[in-house]
Structure 1
Amino acid sequence: MGRADHLNDRQINLFEKELYKELKYWCIWKVGYHLMLRISDTLKITKEEAEKYIRTGKYSSYDQKTGKENIKPLSPEALTTFKTALELAGDSLYLFPSPVNKNKPISRVAVFQKYKYTSEWLGFKETVSTHTARKTSATKIYNMTKNVVLVSRLLKHSNIGVTMTYLGISSHEEEEALLML
């Protein structure tokens, strides 16, 4: 499950349309995409937490990997996604329950397999994994703003260098930018 590529707008639309056929996976993708979350942080969301996010209009948690506080406003689309996921979750503890045990979240392996199968079925050459939603939203924000500091802060990266590597910004691109002056 190592490497992940980002998707372009056309691919995002195709991928989301296909995932929509299995609404739970579509919701997992949308939450990760709109909040730029790692899959571990997406899957650990409980129904109680989701209800709080809807009530307050903000996502608020501590990242599982880094322990850093992560507070983000919910866009209208993220809000709708949380509401949809709550309806699907039924009487389980987690927002995205395992089909085997409703009091555990779905496994990242199950999500990975669904994303991989869907991307292959769509004929994508890109490597689509559970990290693709986060990387796609980060790349999209960077392409719109060209603000690597903003993207770094949204991703909760420890430094700009990590974000530059994450986005694929190379020293060659830096040199080309200077030569354009």
Structure 2
Amino acid sequence: MKYKRMSASLVGIILCGVSIAMARIADLGTDPFTILCTGIGKWTGLPFGVSFLCMSSLGLLFALFLKRGLLGIATIVNLCGTGFVADFAGNIIERIKAMPNMLGEKMLLAGCAFLLLCFAAAVYMSADMGVSGYDAIAMSIAVRTGKTFRVCRIFSDVLCVLAGYTLGGKIGIYTVLTAGFMGPFIQFFRERIVDIWMWGE
């Protein structure tokens, strides 16, 4: 079971990075945390992978004070790998010239990126080997306040969007989609698919 959980965590983290690359290429906005990291990158001149690492580290420190039990080996892998996987996947997509040109193509790519991101987050959360620093913030607040994860996730997403936009991040349709619906979709994938596969419940 531990091997299954570790494998699921790794797969979830890789898929998360790929979904971020897809959303950035679709150019219809990105998820709230990516907007924040992009804004930080523009403000400081840091590459996306580095700004992602820095902001994830801050989220990790925040979670350490609120709910240390949410952190684990997958937290470190996510911290060090997701941003660089996103950069790597984006470079591959650009090299094979699979760039969308029409609005319909961009919307399709953004929709696939959204579903993949929600599913990926559900997978590594359910594996229970530690969640990302950013995800841990919403989960910690949920535990502390008794509110549902979806409500706390929407709250943290909106704050990230506002901060990222202020620093130069781009807001688009995809941003609204993730800020308003990512929490509910993650919960849906966990309850209807991932938890059943992972734990048989």
Please state which band the TM-score falls in when normalised by the shorter chain: 0.3 to 0.5
TM-score, normalised via structure 2 length: 0.32
Higher relative contact order (CA closer than 8 Å, sequence separation 6+): 2
TM-score, normalised via structure 1 length: 0.34
Q: Which has the higher helix share?
A: 2
Q: Which has the higher strand share?
A: 1
